[in-house]
Amino acid sequence: MAQKINIIIDQGTTFSTTFTVNDDDGVPIDFTSYTGLAQMRKHYTSSNSTSFTVTANSTGVVTLSMSSNTTSNLVSGRYVYDVELTAAANTTSRIVEGIVTVTRQVTR
């Protein structure tokens, strides 16, 4: 089951957040050979999406990021997102999901 983590992105800024994923015994999961995908959408059924850059390491730390150019093009408001990691054996798991709130940029 995916962790529920809500995040806030400030429009026009470089965004980065990290979280650690542990197994049922509390041991960090080794994501060395995994690839990650993460997207945010206005609704679950929206055809338009914005992708995060995803990195994951051997100590269970997963990082989501977006450039300031990408966040500048986001419309302020509420979105949904999730993060999926795929192992070398093509097993895909959703590890995190939640709400993204994009706050409006004043300085331009």
Q: What is the pLDDT of residues 38-95, one digit of tens each?
A: 999 999 999 999 999 999 999 999 999 999 999 999 999 999 999 999 998 889 999 9
At residue 35, the pLDDT reads 95
Q: Are strands 92-103 and 7-10 parallel, antiparallel or unpaired?
A: parallel
The residues, any chain, with a CB within 8 Å of residue 23's CB and separated by 6 or more, are 29
At residue 100, the pLDDT reads 98
At residue 108, the pLDDT reads 74
Domain ranges of the chain: 3-103
106 versus 17: which is more confidently predicted? 17
Q: What gap in Å lies between CA 20 and CA 62, rounded to an integer?
A: 6
Which helix (H) or strand (E) covers residue 71, if one does?
Answer: helix 68-72
At residue 107, the pLDDT reads 82
Q: What is the CATH number of domain 3-103?
A: 2.60.40.10
At residue 62, the pLDDT reads 96
The residues, any chain, with a CB within 8 Å of residue 27's CB and separated by 6 or more, are none
Per-residue pLDDT at 8 exceeds 80: yes
